[in-house]
Amino acid sequence: MLSVPVRAALKVAVRSPALRRPVQGRAGLATLTAAVQGRTSARFHAPAALGLRGLANSPEGAPHGGAEVVNLLVKDAAAGKALAAAAVKTIDLNERQACDVFCLVNGAFSPLTGFMDEAAYNCVVKDMRVSADGALFGLPVTLDLQCVKDLKQGDKILLRWEGQDVAVLEASSIWKPNKVLEAREVYGTAELEHPTVHSLIAEQGQFYVGGKLHGLASPKFKYIVQTPSEVRATLPAGKAVVAFQNRNPIHRAHFELLICAQRDVKDSILLVHPTCGPTQPGDIDGLVRIDTYEALRKETEAQYPMFRWA
């Protein structure tokens, strides 16, 4: 089983004030935070090199920045149809954007309830928080579009992935960001040799649209996914969780790290939290990675029953 798809394969990052450089897994770490809290104690143990955010600013058992798991999926079918019918424009998402929609509607980007508006975006770029006194958040979560001339604040936008209507966005904020500034603040460089900076500046749309998101359906992918609630259900209540977040097949050194880290926290659960999504040239395909995780899980489950594979 593989957890929610994220942009880790594009080397988006959680930023460290001391480091100011990418440490893999922007969205994956937000997902991990949302998934782990609520089924564990407030204690969160992981090697610092993984760039994992601590959970100290959330009450025990609460999702990052909130009191419960965010779920933006519209429950009433008629309400969903009405939202879709009110849309003034339909956007076909790319895989990166669809991954973000998945994470938003299922609560993996807690406490966000939609794509960041300009104010939240500026706070995250400058201070890594969703507001002046809000929750810590490593990177901005934005919907990028190349053209917005037919859009205005208050418009509803239907988001479609692989022919399926997956969400409606209420556009509360439309702006043209300073991407060079964003790159320097977020990744520590504006050099196009950096793969994510190149994607940000040269490939992604020049405008951002933010606002509340209404989920119509959870996006489907070629790889198996899990929501935060599904991951939580695998974690025994009251136990500390040692988490390892990765985007590549686990090699021997990785596995030894997992064993040592789990032993370092008495009576803990080890959560292996792999990510999947758009890949870079030369990356191992996501489906192949899933096969390696499944094989390793089956080979080790008898000897390491305290391991959980998200």
% pLDDT > 90, the chain? 61
- The amino acid present at 69, given as its one-letter code, is V
CA dist 207 and 116 (Å) reads 13
Give residue 262's pLDDT: 94
Task: Select from 285, 268, 267, 288 the least CA-distant residue to 277.
Answer: 285
Contact between 71 and 107 under an 8 Å Cβ cutoff? The reply is yes
Alpha-carbon torsion angle 230, 231, 233, 237, nearest 10: -150
- The whole-number pLDDT of residue 277 equals 84
- Is the per-residue pLDDT at 4 higher than 80? no
Q: Is the dihedral of CA 285, 291, 293, 299 positive or negative?
A: negative
pLDDT score recorded for residue 60: 57
pTM reported for the whole predicted model: 0.81
Quote the CA–CA distance of 137 and 297 in Å, as a whole number: 31
Among 30-34, 52-56, 160-164, 237-241, the range of highest mean pLDDT: 160-164
Burial class of residue 33, CB neighbours in 10 A (0-12, 13-18, 19+): buried
Q: pLDDT band at 279, cuts 50/70/90?
A: confident
Q: Residues 6 or more apart from 25 whose CB is under 8 A from it?
A: 6, 8, 12, 13, 14, 32, 51, 245, 247, 275
CA-based nearest residue to 257, from 8, 52, 46: 46
Q: Is the pLDDT of residue 168 over 90?
A: yes
pLDDT digits (tens, 9 = 90+) for 208-239: 999 999 999 999 998 888 999 999 898 988 89
- Cross-strand partners of 80: none
What does pLDDT average to over the chain?
Answer: 82
Higher pLDDT, 259 or 12: 259
